[in-house]
Structure 1
Amino acid sequence: MNKKKRSEILFLFYKKNSNPKIELIFSSDFELLLSVILSAKSTDIMVNKITSTLFKVANTPQGILQLGFNRLRYYIKGIGLYNTKALNIINTAHLIKTKYNNKVPSKRIELESLPGVGRKTANIILNVLFNKKTIAVDTHVFRVANRTGFAKGKNVVEVEKKMIKMVPSIFKKYVHFWFVLHGRYVCTARKLKCKTCLIEKLCEFDKKK
């Protein structure tokens, strides 16, 4: 895909939604961190359902530690990999409390040192909480970037590097959310909605519906 097409795609997304928001529901930095950890291999809808109950009981590092591993497991058992996620959240809460003075760190190396926090999670936290122009590549972004021809890559790191290079600075903060929303509601894994797609004429996918 050439530079002109990419620019047209980004302008169309911007025109439709100039300030896209993450669909996870949170009211503090720590709540967002936990929500993103919980979202691995799950949906935002399911995470919001879980956290709507959990955060009423515990939504601070101290609160999570007081809740404990077994009770935390109970509150998040409706989500995939809940045993691993519960352990990661307990250990992350301990580090946030003891090492970072109850504050979510703002540096990538510090974020990625937290249990359950990988590159994608760190990128989301840096983007949403600290206004960094990072581009998180999840399954939706990876699929849309490859399928449309916007930024092809064999893995998420390749796609991220290409998008960081290709996307103009003014759009970097928003492009992750545009691609996520597009992949979640239009350019889905199986049932493509090409007839109502905003960028259908610019898309280079050779199997359009």
Structure 2
Amino acid sequence: MAANLNGRTIAFLAAPEGTEQIELTDPWSAVEKAGAAPRLVSTASGRIQGFNHLDKGDTFPVDSTVDQVGATEFTGLVLPGGVANPDFLRTHESAVAFVKAFFDAAKPVAAICHAPWTLIEAGAVRERQLTSFPSLATDIRNAGGDWVDERVVICANGPNTLITSRKPDDLPAFDEAILEEFAR
């Protein structure tokens, strides 16, 4: 049975530049098809620039900034990857606070590829099992997390469910996991 997300709003947090486009658009499409209202949240208003690895992709309109909305307005949060996106977000105090608020409110969070860098900065990986792009394994372990090399990891050890995935090739499993969790 397909997930029904009617009436739910899902936040997608992305920096003004550096988001891996497919890691934004693929889960966005999945939650939208399931009936949810995806909303793009960023650190600045206007548009964000997507990337296809190192090449510029499309631009996407920002619905709200991290200073305008809070976790209580959303069912869950998706953190797309790309190297530059989470690297920027983890240095932006309001973006880190926005992410941390989802954990404080016990709302599900999903992160793919390099996005766990932002989770580390939010203090959200300690004693949790997760995956990511392999180059983050040491960072996750140093932050107290248990890094594993799997397509998708669903960790309910903590105040909320954390769903993580490694890379764009894993998007079908990631999308399926987030739809199931956001439908709860």
Shorter-chain TM-score: what band? Answer: under 0.3
Give the alignment's TM-score, normalised by structure 1.
0.25
Larger strand proportion, structure 1 or 2? 2
Larger helix proportion, structure 1 or 2? 1
Give the alignment's TM-score, normalised by structure 2.
0.27
